[in-house]
Structures are given as C-alpha cells and as structure tokens.
Structure 1
Amino acid sequence: MKLIQVFCLVIAMLFSNMASAETQAIDGYDVLADVGVVRPLSFVGMMVGTAVFVALLPGTALATIPAPHKAFELMADTLIINPAKYTFARPAGDFDYNE
C-alpha cells in the first residue's frame, strides 16, 4: 500500500512540474513523453481514423452530392491527414504544433 502511495506521489510531482513550466524550451522530459507516449497514441488515432474513414465512405459519398462537394476532403483531413501530420511532421517534444 505504501508503494502505491509513493508511486502516485511521484507521478503527481512529475505532472505538476510539467504543468507549471512557463518557458517554451523543450527539455528531455518533453521529448521522452512525446516519443514514448504521445506519438504512439497519435499513430493509433490515425489508424482508427483511417478505419472510420473507410467505414463511412458510403455516407461520405452521399454527402458529396450537394455543393460544395468537399466531404471526402474534409473527412480525410480530419480523420487521417491531421493525425498523420501530428505524428510524423511535428518536431519531437513540440506539443503546440499547428500547421
């Protein structure tokens, strides 16, 4: 029980230290958290988005019939392209990436 309390305290201290950082400098912890946790999760999100995109293709085809005819483009950007850019094009440790 005491080990669980110590573990929770250490995790809380790590997150409180990251949250209180006011500078934009990227340190080793940001890169480690990015490469170890955020990028794999965003890759999984991109794969799930691709599966959802494929599953909703018939509905998207129907949504493309009326003008502006951009349903495929908007859906692909939202579900596939943006997560792919966040996973592969973003510099390591930069969580404020907006392209």
Structure 2
Amino acid sequence: MKLIKTAIIALTLTVSAPVFADNPPTVHKADGVDILYDVALRPAGFVATILGSALYVALSPATAITSLQPPHDTFKTFADFIIVNPYKFTFTRPTGDYNFPQTEK
C-alpha cells in the first residue's frame, strides 16, 4: 500500500510540474503617452549616467577604502548602482516599459 501511495504522489508531482512554470512576459505596446514620457525620461537618464560617472570617479578613493573588507565587490556594486542602472534605463529599456529589470543577478 505504501508503494502505491508513493507512486501516486510521484506521478501527481511529475504531471503537475508544468503548472509551476513561469508565464511568458507580456509584451507592452507603447502608446502616445508612453512616448511623451520617454521624451522627458531618456534625457534625464542620460544626464544621470553622466553625473553618475563623474561621481564614481570622484568617490573612487573612498570606494577603494571600503573594498578592503570582504566581499571586495564595492567597486562593482557602486558602479552598477550609479552608472549601469541609469545607462540601461536610458539606452536598453524598451519604450514604455517602466518595470524594466535594472540589474541582473
């Protein structure tokens, strides 16, 4: 009887596994309002990228001091936050997609 119960549970879990799969992402069609928002947000993202780059260079000595302690990834983390995120928002984000993932894990 235990073998039958185990087989039924295993079969049920095997058949129901596709239920837990992620749904494919929905494609967002940009309308006129999204394009108008992007006319203002893209230049702001470009300015944020330039200012972030300058701030990164200015704060590099402090970042070097903080990277002495483990996990030694302060430069990468700081660069991702202050340069890469605005860059991706400005240049790689589809028009009208404001839930665009900033950093990849």
Aligned length: 75
In terms of Rg, which structure is larger?
Answer: 2
Hey, which of these two has a bigger chunk of helix by percent? 1
> Any gaps of 5 or more consecutive residues in structure 1?
1-23
Q: Do structure 1's residue 81 and structure 2's residue 84 form an aligned pair?
A: yes
> Any gaps of 5 or more consecutive residues in structure 2?
1-27
Q: Do structure 1's residue 66 and structure 2's residue 69 form an aligned pair?
A: yes
How many Å apart are 1:25 and its aligned residue? 4.6
Aligned-residue identity in percent:
43
- Distance in 2 (alpha carbons) for counterparts of 1:26 and 1:51: 33
State the one-letter code of the partner of 2:64: A
Check the 8 A contact 1:32/1:93 in 2, yes or no: no
Normalising by structure 2, what TM-score? Answer: 0.66
Considering only aligned residues, what root-mean-square deviation do their CA atoms show, in Å?
1.3
- Distance in 2 (alpha carbons) for counterparts of 1:25 and 1:90: 13
Normalising by structure 1, what TM-score? Answer: 0.70
Q: Deviating runs (4+, > 2 A) in structure 1?
A: none
